[in-house]
Amino acid sequence: MTWRVNVRILPRAGLLDPQGQAVEHALAALRFPEARNVHVGRAIALEVTAPSAADAEAVVRRMCDKLLANPVIEDYEIEVESEGAA
Protein backbone atom coordinates (compact mmCIF):
# COMPACT_ATOMS: atom_id res chain seq x y z
CA MET A 1 0.00 0.00 0.00
CA THR A 2 1.04 3.56 -0.59
CA TRP A 3 0.90 6.08 2.24
CA ARG A 4 1.16 9.83 2.11
CA VAL A 5 3.58 10.93 4.79
CA ASN A 6 4.38 14.42 6.03
CA VAL A 7 7.57 15.08 7.93
CA ARG A 8 7.83 18.27 9.92
CA ILE A 9 11.33 19.32 10.90
CA LEU A 10 11.97 22.15 13.36
CA PRO A 11 15.08 23.53 15.05
CA ARG A 12 15.72 21.73 18.31
CA ALA A 13 14.04 23.32 21.28
CA GLY A 14 16.43 25.63 23.05
CA LEU A 15 18.70 26.14 20.05
CA LEU A 16 18.89 29.75 18.90
CA ASP A 17 16.63 30.09 15.85
CA PRO A 18 17.46 33.42 14.20
CA GLN A 19 15.07 32.79 11.31
CA GLY A 20 12.19 32.27 13.71
CA GLN A 21 13.19 35.42 15.62
CA ALA A 22 13.38 37.48 12.41
CA VAL A 23 9.92 36.30 11.36
CA GLU A 24 8.56 37.01 14.85
CA HIS A 25 9.94 40.57 14.68
CA ALA A 26 8.42 41.04 11.23
CA LEU A 27 5.05 39.84 12.50
CA ALA A 28 5.27 42.28 15.40
CA ALA A 29 6.07 45.08 12.94
CA LEU A 30 2.96 44.11 10.97
CA ARG A 31 0.94 44.50 14.20
CA PHE A 32 0.53 40.85 15.04
CA PRO A 33 1.58 41.09 18.68
CA GLU A 34 -0.24 37.82 19.28
CA ALA A 35 2.56 35.85 17.63
CA ARG A 36 5.00 34.20 20.06
CA ASN A 37 7.72 31.56 19.82
CA VAL A 38 7.91 31.57 16.02
CA HIS A 39 10.11 28.87 14.53
CA VAL A 40 11.04 28.23 10.92
CA GLY A 41 11.61 24.65 9.83
CA ARG A 42 11.09 22.45 6.84
CA ALA A 43 8.27 20.22 5.65
CA ILE A 44 8.93 17.14 3.54
CA ALA A 45 6.05 15.35 1.85
CA LEU A 46 6.53 11.90 0.41
CA GLU A 47 4.72 8.75 -0.54
CA VAL A 48 5.84 5.50 1.01
CA THR A 49 5.02 1.95 0.06
CA ALA A 50 4.53 -0.13 3.19
CA PRO A 51 2.14 -2.82 4.42
CA SER A 52 0.73 -0.68 7.24
CA ALA A 53 0.69 2.88 8.55
CA ALA A 54 2.96 1.80 11.40
CA ASP A 55 5.45 0.34 8.94
CA ALA A 56 5.31 3.53 6.87
CA GLU A 57 6.07 5.57 9.96
CA ALA A 58 8.90 3.25 10.96
CA VAL A 59 10.64 3.46 7.60
CA VAL A 60 10.27 7.25 7.47
CA ARG A 61 11.74 7.45 10.97
CA ARG A 62 14.80 5.63 9.63
CA MET A 63 14.94 8.09 6.72
CA CYS A 64 14.84 10.97 9.18
CA ASP A 65 17.58 9.55 11.36
CA LYS A 66 19.80 8.88 8.36
CA LEU A 67 19.20 11.87 6.09
CA LEU A 68 16.11 14.03 6.44
CA ALA A 69 16.90 15.52 9.85
CA ASN A 70 20.11 16.13 11.78
CA PRO A 71 19.51 15.10 15.39
CA VAL A 72 22.21 17.50 16.60
CA ILE A 73 20.17 20.52 15.55
CA GLU A 74 16.67 19.37 14.62
CA ASP A 75 13.60 17.61 15.96
CA TYR A 76 11.07 15.99 13.67
CA GLU A 77 7.50 14.77 13.68
CA ILE A 78 6.03 12.22 11.31
CA GLU A 79 2.40 12.16 10.25
CA VAL A 80 1.09 9.31 8.14
CA GLU A 81 -1.70 11.22 6.54
CA SER A 82 -3.83 8.78 4.61
CA GLU A 83 -3.72 5.89 2.29
CA GLY A 84 -2.74 7.18 -1.11
CA ALA A 85 -3.46 5.72 -4.52
CA ALA A 86 -2.55 2.05 -4.70
86 burial level (CB within 10 Å; 0-12, 13-18, 19+): exposed
Q: Choose the stretch contacting other proteins; rule: CB under 8 A; options: 10-18, 31-39, 45-53, 56-64.
A: 10-18
Among 10, 60, 64, 68, indicate the residue that binds other proteins (CB under 8 A).
68
Interface with other proteins, residue 73, by CB under 8 A? yes
Which amino acid is present at 28? A
* Cα atoms in the 13 Å half-sphere on the side-chain side of 18: 0
Interface with other proteins, residue 72, by CB under 8 A? yes
Q: For 79, list phi and psi in degrees, rounded to 5.
A: -125, 115
Site for other proteins, rule CB under 8 A = 11, 15-16, 18-19, 22, 42, 67-68, 70, 72-73
